[in-house]
Amino acid sequence: MELTLVVLIIIVGLTFDFTNGFHDAANAIATSISTRALTPRVALVMAAVMNFCGAFLGTEVAQTVGSGIIGAPEATSGLLLVLCALIGAIGWNVFTWWRGLPTSSSHALIGGLVGAALAASATVHWSGILDKVILPMLLSPLVGVVLGYLLHTGILWAFRRSAPRRTTRRFRMAQTVSAAAMGLGHGLQDAQKTMGVIVLALVTAGWQDDFSVPVWVIAAVAAAMAAGTYSGGRRIITTLGRRIVHLDPPRGFAAETAAAAVLYTTAFLVKAPISTTQTITAAILGSGATRRFSDVRWQVARSIGTAWLLTFPGAGVPAAALYLFLHAVTPV
């Protein structure tokens, strides 16, 4: 039973990582596609490659997710908890992808873990959630908005005397770099969350003693995310790239650069699992508001905000219900 559950968790974990890839592919490429800096196919290939490379840049966030969110029970009960958390997160990812809403796969996973842990009467590290999840969740979009606004304001001032057509062409080229930086940052942040959950399962089963991430876990997660990214997620690409605000290349470059800066800072310095979706969406809002606030389609932004608030219970409640059912029918 234990071996079966561990293998199943690895398979479901990689499935979650695949859904994370196609759900969050828009994070790295939506702005570049909408401004025609990159064609969809080239953008997807580049994002997939950068996601794969980004997964190898660090494991600090993975260790935070593995050890700092919940304390899973030992043996079968703990493995069921992890499995149900992953299934709850996958369900929320698929639902919001179908609705075209750019919600956070990271917060869906954490919501699933907390929901299943509460159902299992397991330890929830509330102080760690506050420090590493809630505060970064609130602060990273605010920083993204401010950085996006300030960076695009600086671009407008620096190029105020330049020919518009030449400036647009230059920023289309620059967006190749900023989109690549976003793809790398997405791999750095989001791939590590799945690594952390798989390592949590290995520790729960007693297969390893600490929360260090084996190389085979990094490689498997990186490959699954790259495959998911290449598969697309065009519904969310449309929402991020066109429905929130009209983007031109300078705005797209400002949004991508601001969001990438937040991703790298939180991964390397804070070691916090933030949402790449929230960060890039906020940066798009900030860079889009530099002309006038009425340019932003605030109704779409409100719908996204509502979906963000529902992410924790949207993944956590099904995960808890599934755990109670499986725990009742599975010999422990």
pLDDT tens per residue, range 175-229: 889 989 988 998 998 889 899 999 999 999 889 888 899 999 999 999 999 998 8
- Residue 330 domain-assigned (yes or no): no
pLDDT at residue 10, as a whole number: 95
Provide the percentage of residues in the chain whose pLDDT is more than 90.
39
The yes-or-no verdict on residue 39 having pLDDT over 70 is yes
- Residue 325 domain-assigned (yes or no): no
- Residue 74 domain-assigned (yes or no): yes
> What average pLDDT does this structure show over 160-181?
88
Q: What domain count does the chain have?
A: 1
296 band by pLDDT with thresholds 50, 70 and 90: low
The yes-or-no verdict on residue 319 having pLDDT over 80 is yes
67 band by pLDDT with thresholds 50, 70 and 90: confident
| Residue with more model confidence, 307 or 228 | 228
pLDDT at residue 245, as a whole number: 62
pLDDT at residue 306, as a whole number: 75
Mean pLDDT for all residues in the chain: 85
Q: Which two tokens stand for residue 202?
A: 């290995």
The yes-or-no verdict on residue 315 having pLDDT over 60 is yes
Express each pLDDT in 256-288 by its tens digit: 899 999 999 988 988 888 888 788 888 888 887
List C-alpha distances in Å: 217 to 51, 88, 186, 201, 206: 15, 21, 17, 12, 16
- Residue 210 domain-assigned (yes or no): yes
Q: Which residues constitute the domain of residue 190? A: 1-319
* Beta strand extents in 44-90 (DSSP E only): 70-71
240 band by pLDDT with thresholds 50, 70 and 90: low
- Residue 19 domain-assigned (yes or no): yes
The yes-or-no verdict on residue 26 having pLDDT over 70 is no
The CA angle 304-310-298, to the nearest 5 degrees, is 20
- Residue 214 domain-assigned (yes or no): yes
pLDDT at residue 139, as a whole number: 87
Residues 6+ away with beta carbon under 8 Å from 249: 35, 37, 168, 171, 172, 174, 175
292 band by pLDDT with thresholds 50, 70 and 90: low
Residue type present at position 310: L
Provide the percentage of residues in the chain whose pLDDT is more than 70.
88
pLDDT at residue 304, as a whole number: 63
Measured CA to CA, the distance from residue 217 to residue 223 in angstroms comes to 10
List C-alpha distances in Å: 46 to 26, 27, 54, 232, 279: 12, 13, 12, 12, 20
Which range has the worst mean pLDDT, 44-53, 213-222, 238-247? Answer: 238-247
293 band by pLDDT with thresholds 50, 70 and 90: low
Measured CA to CA, the distance from residue 186 to residue 21 in angstroms comes to 9
- Residue 57 domain-assigned (yes or no): yes
| 221 Cα distance to chain centroid | 14
| Residue with more model confidence, 47 or 220 | 220
> What average pLDDT does this structure show over 66-73?
85
3-state secondary structure of 282: helix
- Residue 29 domain-assigned (yes or no): yes
- By C-alpha distance, which of 123, 81, 41 is closest to 323? 81
Which range has the worst mean pLDDT, 43-57, 77-91, 140-154, 239-253? Answer: 239-253
pLDDT at residue 213, as a whole number: 93
